[in-house]
Structure 1
């Protein structure tokens, strides 16, 4: 733990004009207020805010940020108020502490109670002063470093999952790659301990066997560039276990099929030298087409600048190379924090503009789960660049379509889209954009977002806006059904129901508008008895078991978006499980067939009614179908079954479908809770030496 004078000396080393008295006061204040409180490790609680402050000094942040780091838990965990902070340290520090405290309160809510309004306020606070996020990231990083001291496994996993889903992507989004990588590594170790251990062990083997070759490649690159008159520094590094695991999952490959375990970084003196180095490497070794990216001329939104390429070394080995200057390298590690250290009085609008999109997503999201999905889409970054006809540049995720582009320009433009031209040619709206495409959106005055767009859009902003439009339209249809049902219910009451009775019923049911009641009736959110009792109190005393009512309002259906009484089946072609995005196909005279939105057979249902569905009750089990290729040797089937069992799942059926020496391929039905459960099983299978390949059918 940093001593008081050590912390002050760190700040004074890069900011000689810092207010030493304020820093000393903040240090003593946090020690006094946290007093005898202890952390799970047994250390004094005040050691945590002091270590977070130390992380902020590593980023060379200003005195107000250091004071905020010291004080960030006092309001939440002691009797101190924001007014106390303002009286002792001024309004700027108080505002920053308040911003960090708000997010801490949101974290402690149950997932289904985390109010979107609170999150929206936090995102607004971040967009006004990004230092709130910097302190919160430092807080989360130190908590992850000490996570192993928490005895409750469920709590450890919850914190690790939240870190991987929210905080690591946020760190990446503002260019703090060092924080991102460490958070991912620590979270991965707690969430997937078996996979972490397996991949780390394989990396250690490769390090022992091929360490000398890595040094040889780095030396060859340096010598080649020296012969071209370039003074450079070359470093080789192995990828993090989480990065390898994610690549295995995304590409559906085994560890042995990941070709770029090691990467090399070339540090040059000037940007011009970076391009000269690139040319030299491309003429010395064959480069791999499609793997070159120029983030020097067009930096990422988070300020990241570098040249990326991939080479074939000595005819067979694939080598990933990043080329940048020393200054770029320092900035790339800590992104926006590094920018802040040198330009504290500037507001880097380009690097926080994405927060405004997040705020719009929060406003559009229907529930906590949808919010998390759309937020993830907005903050993960693998970017392409596209232009408007007037030359405006837009950064979009890889795989983005003209619809994503339209919503990125403006929500209204996205809603009115009816067609698009890419590089002057009319193209389908589902066309994936490539780097440098010029996109012209064709709009219509009466157009509206289509449910089918959810099958191909990739940005959180587009998904949120489309879902909101579809819900609004569906709400109108459900409310119309509710009006008809309401008339039937009102006719069964023992007294004539007028406007006055309806107004009183709304109060009793705690609803604001008549339309809200009609929607609640149409969506089966409220029973006939409840409506009757609200209209005429006491009218259901002898209501009894009405068979018609029981038939309409039986056991709660597990799919949201179906009208009352609609039966459904889960499609055998795609085996949807809770967590998949789903749609329904409604054929005349048949039950609704529920499909995964990625299902290829949906193309055959184009003439049927499509329903926007979501999962409701997830307490049951679903069947996921996998195809697993094992090494055909003794014990591999048992190992596969053990992996499934260790992940708390059951094998429902197992069929051998193909033998191709030395492999045997099986189709396996597994009973799982949801998509996350199925994904964990797949990842564990892919990390096993017994498994050559594992995919979901």
Structure 2
């Protein structure tokens, strides 16, 4: 079959394309694909790049070859799954617009279409240097969390990408890909039991981010390989003889630990390579029926322990209680020949298959529900949806949940729960259910009453005690260790703070209404800041708790508004324009009564910032200065009621004056770049100046107060229309 795609590849790429196609074709046998499906799949790969599509992606990687590598690695490392291989083959066609989900659903079915929808969703966030940003990282993880198969497909794809970018010219992009591989995909691979892939991802990440260290360790391992192989042989030979004498059928082999693992040990133990005693591990893989798995593993261990002294402190039994990702193995460390510590792992053939290719990758495809994995993905969603921290903390939290040591505890009914080492009764309560955790008062542990601070031990039986009067407290954050519990407590505290804040705001508004005081948002926010509060919610919550007297605060507010004449000097942040008294009368833009106000000093009131064209009136202050207010000023009614004898008519002369300040309040989604977009529009508007900007964000909502200098109302109206078009802006109004 002739293909124009290969004509646009280099000679070496053509050869690899043909080889990969042959290898992938070997996995597409009649037991998995019909003849028509196989032919259609191969055509998809051939035409994975259309004539009018590029042969290479924007980073110079060959698209067809990367697709074949992706399919082949998945088939070899995980499982040659029918629908997943179809999704991989179709993905480039979907990406470059040569098919769509509707056509795929019609030809290949709902499941394949669903996988491709998930992959397309992930692509929006992944491999574009965006995972280092919190919102993109959260979006990426939530996309992955929808279908565990998408996670596995993306892990494999990431390894293919990592293998392909060695010595790529774009160093910054390579570092970002390596960062994402190490902090995200390697952790997910570990959680799903894909240890081989996890190790290679971590090694490649170290190679691309610290090539000098990687090369040094690799060279030293290569230099000592002969002596290391000889030692492994001297250890294995007598063990092999004793195991055969016991009638066991097995395979025994030694392996050197990964470079990244060795580097982590060197850093942790603060030693050089010679100081790492467990550079390699011996693995005993036993062929035995499932009913004899545990007994034969323990038999093999007892034989080795008779030959070499075992270190009980480093004994790890994941056969009696497997890891939450399904990993089963018995690990022991013994003193081998030459007084060297050697790690020996005992497992059966079935256990080894799960350890190499992952539990979920085998069970899920066969239609068996993996409850542990589903529960973990639910926990991850809880973490991501409630977390307020940045991406590094999110990754740290995930790593803790994935890599952390586990303790096992039971409910009185015998249900087993896995928690991070150091977990407390309060962690256990939140693990059962959020409402149980929120109302937890303590527990009965092994028949004895314990406080919520009690740290759980392996095998504890725990009955949680609750009370409807109990509620989460801030000091609970110092008690729990699990990310889920911590975020649920924070969420509950924030909800309680919001409730109290709404009550406090209602109290202030009711008191202001009784006193006929109009509250202006910008002045209120400034006063809240002057009182030492970073967030308005905290201020209003304290008012609800009677820590702030609303009456006294209103007195301060009234003093700050227009009726105050002896206030502090105006700062740059409280920008206000004042008329130049030396200007000629013909330049006056305001009139009072039947004549201009030439010779009088006037100011534009900062509470409403009138501009040319507004309906205005004048207020004569005690020092004789005329303050110009908008007729719809929030304080207008109060001024007219209390000081009617000091109000004087004012209007515009019909001629535009100088630039005047106008305050705007903007509310919207706290999207990346929203402030830059707003200021960019203002800067491009002819005759408009941005004089001050004050912004705040909380719970994903952006709030800002802008002071712009404009010449008239027409110009301000035009600016408001343009600002409303900014993506993420929900509301904009003049104060």
Write out per-residue CA displacement over residues 28-54 of structure 1, whole angstroms, 9 at most, x where no aligned residue.
Answer: 342337843314775532211121111
Residues 1:355 and 2:426 are matched in the alignment: no
- Per the alignment, residue 245 of structure 2 pairs with 227
When normalised by structure 2's length, the TM-score is 0.63
Residues 266 and 276 in structure 2, CA contact (< 8 A), matched pair in contact too: yes
CA gap 1:40/1:284 in 2 versus in 1, 3 angstroms: farther
Residues 383 and 396 in structure 1, CA contact (< 8 A), matched pair in contact too: yes
Residues 1:70 and 2:89 are matched in the alignment: yes
Cα distance in 2 between the residues matched to 1:483 and 1:90 = 55
Residues 418 and 442 in structure 1, CA contact (< 8 A), matched pair in contact too: yes
CA gap 1:136/1:487 in 2 versus in 1, 3 angstroms: same
- Per the alignment, residue 50 of structure 1 pairs with 68
CA gap 1:164/1:257 in 2 versus in 1, 3 angstroms: same
CA gap 1:90/1:432 in 2 versus in 1, 3 angstroms: same
- Per the alignment, residue 285 of structure 1 pairs with 308
Matches within 5 A, 1:183-194: 183-194=201-212
Cα distance in 2 between the residues matched to 1:110 and 1:360 = 19
Query: Deviation at 1:371?
Result: 3.7
Name the SS of the counterpart of 2:384 in structure 1: helix
Cα distance in 2 between the residues matched to 1:323 and 1:115 = 42
- Which of 508, 518, 522 is the matching residue for 1:497? 518
- Per the alignment, residue 385 of structure 1 pairs with 408
CA gap 1:96/1:151 in 2 versus in 1, 3 angstroms: same
Q: Which shifted more, 268-277 or 363-372? A: 363-372
Q: 5+ residue gaps in structure 2? A: 1-16, 526-533, 542-571, 576-603, 613-626, 629-735
Residues 1:240 and 2:258 are matched in the alignment: yes
CA gap 1:482/1:76 in 2 versus in 1, 3 angstroms: farther
- Which of 378, 390, 410 is the matching residue for 2:433? 410
- Which of 62, 80, 85 is the matching residue for 2:104? 85
Residues 1:466 and 2:484 are matched in the alignment: no
Query: Deviation at 1:12?
Result: 0.6
Residues 1:173 and 2:196 are matched in the alignment: no
Query: Deviation at 1:159?
Result: 1.3
Residues 1:319 and 2:326 are matched in the alignment: no
Name the SS of the counterpart of 1:457 in structure 2: coil
Name the SS of the counterpart of 1:407 in structure 2: helix
Residues 1:366 and 2:388 are matched in the alignment: yes
Name the SS of the counterpart of 2:49 in structure 1: helix
Q: 5+ residue gaps in structure 1? A: 507-515, 544-697
Write out per-residue CA displacement over residues 159-212 of structure 1, whole angstroms, 9 at most, x where no aligned residue.
Answer: 111111111111111111121111111112122333323333343344344331
Query: Deviation at 1:99?
Result: 0.2
Query: Deviation at 1:460?
Result: 2.0
CA gap 1:281/1:348 in 2 versus in 1, 3 angstroms: same
Name the SS of the counterpart of 1:223 in structure 2: helix
When normalised by structure 1's length, the TM-score is 0.66
Query: Deviation at 1:489?
Result: 11
Q: Which shifted more, 74-83 or 62-71? A: 74-83
Name the SS of the counterpart of 1:440 in structure 2: strand
Residues 157 and 190 in structure 1, CA contact (< 8 A), matched pair in contact too: yes
- Per the alignment, residue 310 of structure 1 pairs with 333
Residues 296 and 305 in structure 1, CA contact (< 8 A), matched pair in contact too: yes
Cα distance in 1 between the residues matched to 2:478 and 2:438 = 16
Query: Deviation at 1:538?
Result: 2.6
- Which of 122, 140, 147 is the matching residue for 2:165? 147
- Per the alignment, residue 701 of structure 2 pairs with none
Query: Deviation at 1:285?
Result: 2.5
CA gap 1:28/1:89 in 2 versus in 1, 3 angstroms: farther
Cα distance in 2 between the residues matched to 1:13 and 1:149 = 40
- Which of 16, 28, 34 is the matching residue for 1:11? 28
- Per the alignment, residue 258 of structure 1 pairs with 276
Cα distance in 2 between the residues matched to 1:178 and 1:334 = 8
Query: Deviation at 1:338?
Result: 4.6
- Per the alignment, residue 161 of structure 1 pairs with 179
Residues 53 and 66 in structure 1, CA contact (< 8 A), matched pair in contact too: yes
Query: Deviation at 1:486?
Result: 8.7
CA gap 1:302/1:113 in 2 versus in 1, 3 angstroms: closer
Cα distance in 2 between the residues matched to 1:120 and 1:366 = 15
- Which of 374, 377, 400 is the matching residue for 2:423? 400
Q: Which shifted more, 473-482 or 347-356? A: 473-482
Residues 252 and 284 in structure 2, CA contact (< 8 A), matched pair in contact too: yes
Write out per-residue CA displacement over residues 353-396 of structure 1, whole angstroms, 9 at most, x where no aligned residue.
Answer: 21111112222112443543433333335333222222111122
CA gap 1:517/1:312 in 2 versus in 1, 3 angstroms: closer
Residues 1:301 and 2:319 are matched in the alignment: no
Q: Which shifted more, 447-456 or 184-193? A: 447-456
Cα distance in 2 between the residues matched to 1:161 and 1:47 = 24
Cα distance in 2 between the residues matched to 1:429 and 1:469 = 17
Cα distance in 2 between the residues matched to 1:529 and 1:203 = 67
Cα distance in 2 between the residues matched to 1:54 and 1:263 = 29
Write out per-residue CA displacement over residues 212-245 of structure 1, whole angstroms, 9 at most, x where no aligned residue.
Answer: 1121112232223223332322111111121122
- Per the alignment, residue 94 of structure 1 pairs with 113
Query: Deviation at 1:97?
Result: 0.7
Name the SS of the counterpart of 1:319 in structure 2: strand
Query: Deviation at 1:420?
Result: 3.6
Answer with 1 or 2: which has the greater Rg.
2
Write out per-residue CA displacement over residues 9-36 of structure 1, whole angstroms, 9 at most, x where no aligned residue.
Answer: 3221763657324423432342337843
Write out per-residue CA displacement over residues 659-682 of structure 1, whole angstroms, 9 at most, x where no aligned residue.
Answer: xxxxxxxxxxxxxxxxxxxxxxxx
CA gap 1:312/1:3 in 2 versus in 1, 3 angstroms: closer
Residues 1:538 and 2:609 are matched in the alignment: yes
What number of residue pairs does the alignment pair up? 520
Write out per-residue CA displacement over residues 440-463 of structure 1, whole angstroms, 9 at most, x where no aligned residue.
Answer: 333333333343444453322122
Residues 116 and 362 in structure 1, CA contact (< 8 A), matched pair in contact too: no
Cα distance in 2 between the residues matched to 1:151 and 1:478 = 54
- Which of 296, 301, 322 is the matching residue for 1:273? 296
Residues 374 and 464 in structure 1, CA contact (< 8 A), matched pair in contact too: no
CA gap 1:4/1:200 in 2 versus in 1, 3 angstroms: closer
Cα distance in 1 between the residues matched to 2:172 and 2:104 = 34
Residues 265 and 321 in structure 1, CA contact (< 8 A), matched pair in contact too: yes
Name the SS of the counterpart of 2:48 in structure 1: helix
- Per the alignment, residue 554 of structure 1 pairs with none
CA gap 1:345/1:204 in 2 versus in 1, 3 angstroms: same
Matches within 5 A, 1:601-680: none
Query: Deviation at 1:96?
Result: 0.5
Residues 417 and 442 in structure 1, CA contact (< 8 A), matched pair in contact too: yes
- Per the alignment, residue 590 of structure 1 pairs with none
